[in-house]
Amino acid sequence: MKRITDLTEQEILALAITSEEEDSQIYMSFANRLRNDYPSTAQMFEDMAAEEQEHKNMLLDMFGKRFGGRLPYITRQDVRGFMKRNPIWLMENMRIDEVRQQAELMEIEASTYYSKAAQQAQDVDIRKLLGDLALAERGHEAKAIEIERKNVSDAEREEEGEISKRLFVLQVVQPGLAGLIDGSVSTLAPIFAAAFATHNSHDAFLVGLAASLGAGISMGLTEAMSDDGAITGRGSPWLRGVVCGVMTAIGGLGHTLPYLISDFWTATLVAAVLVAIELIAISWIRWKYMDTPIVSAMVQVLLGGALVLLSGILIGSA
């Protein structure tokens, strides 16, 4: 897998062509999906899809002039740093807020790619074209924000505040939430299994400590290595890795520390209360920052946590 700095000018243009084509198809899919309920937003996505096609044609013309008619096949999946995208058919059931967020991410990624590619291009005409496309994609970012203003109740927020919030969500909230969910939920089974198998607070504490720290290290490394942030705009991979790892460890340690209490049943009762608080906190964060309906967030998180907790208790009691 190549880095963007390893690409030749021929590969830079070829990647831009396939990316514009894919983005155009995604925008048309959004438009078709939203046409009945959000006609103005659907029209906006149609216009954005048409612009992506225009960008593709400009890139094809430039490629033909410089390199002839044989286009090398290269996609985002061949270059390190691009965000992994779901196939179009998996986007059919996305809510309007999820569509909006996806559009913003796509335009931030495209703008960043063109800016970085323009910096390393040596051909004057190619450099100019890539710079112009970077500016055009930034204009699409403004359109994505306009979509949010039309469909979100707080329509008075300023554009800079919107972009700042999106970057905060991308770089801090998303990795932190992923870590908190993993730490709070995945460690429930081993901790409570050990607790009910031994009825010994010290043993449960050691298992919980090991599970929490191990999960924190694993999740932190996974997040740091999954995306270098060069194209997606998600910021430093190590910052995201630290945030994810620390939140994972905190999620597990929250219901581990009560087992420092020597009385087993007192420790278990305190741990259970803290588990409920953790799951409610996760639901609130998903509602606050990820635009997930609060009832849906509560049901999903509490049900998942309850199932994992129950499995740990049953295994430990067997």
Q: Is 254 helix (H, G, I), strand (E, B) or coil?
A: helix
The domains of the chain are located at: 4-151, 159-317
Instruction: Select from 189, 183, 175 the least CA-distant residue to 216.
Output: 183
Q: What is the pLDDT along the chain (318 residues), one digit of tens a residue?
A: 788 888 999 999 999 999 999 989 988 988 888 887 778 778 888 888 998 999 999 999 999 999 988 888 888 888 877 765 666 555 665 666 677 777 878 888 888 889 989 998 999 999 999 999 988 887 766 666 665 565 544 544 454 456 556 767 777 888 888 888 888 888 888 999 999 999 999 999 999 999 999 989 998 888 888 766 666 666 678 888 898 999 999 999 999 999 999 999 999 999 999 999 998 988 888 888 877 888 888 888 888 888 988 988 899 887
Alpha-carbon distance values, 185 to 6, 172, 214 (Å):
41, 20, 14
Looking at residue 51, its amino acid is E
Identify the pLDDT of residue 212: 92
Interatomic CA distance for residues 17 and 264, integer angstroms? 63
Say what angle helices 237-254 and 174-181 make with each other, to 10 degrees: 30
3-state secondary structure of 234: coil
The pLDDT score that the predictor gives to residue 165 is 67
Cα–Cα–Cα angle for 291, 293, 41, rounded to 5 degrees: 55
- Residue 157: the pLDDT is 42
Residues counted in the chain: 318
The pLDDT value given to residue 87: 60
> What φ, ψ does residue 81 adopt, rounded to 5°?
110, -15
What pLDDT does residue 261 have?
A: 93
At residue 213, the pLDDT reads 93
Cβ atoms of 203 and 193 closer than 8 Å? no
Q: Tokens at residue 90, please?
A: 């998996």
Nearest CA among 188, 184, 203 for reference residue 264: 203
Does the structural domain 4-151 have CATH classification 3.40.30.10? no
What's the confidence (pLDDT) of residue 240? 85
Rounded Cα gap, residues 272 and 188, in angstroms: 10
Three-state SS for 111? helix
3-state class of 289 per DSSP?
helix
> What H or E segment, with its residue span, contains residue 212?
helix 201-226
- Give the burial class of 92: count Cβ atoms within 10 A of its Cβ; 0-12 exposed, 13-18 middle, 19 or more buried: exposed
CA–CA distance, 82 with 113 (Å, rounded to integer): 9
**Strand, coil or helix: 2:** strand
Alpha-carbon gap, residue 318 to 219, rounded angstroms? 30
Give the pLDDT confidence score for residue 127 in this predicted structure: 93
Report residue 178 as tokens.
């992923």
Cα dihedral sign, 212-214-219-221 = positive
pLDDT (0 to 100) of residue 107: 82
What's the confidence (pLDDT) of residue 237? 80
Who contacts 161 (Cβ-Cβ below 8 Å, separation ≥6)?
none
DSSP state of 235: -
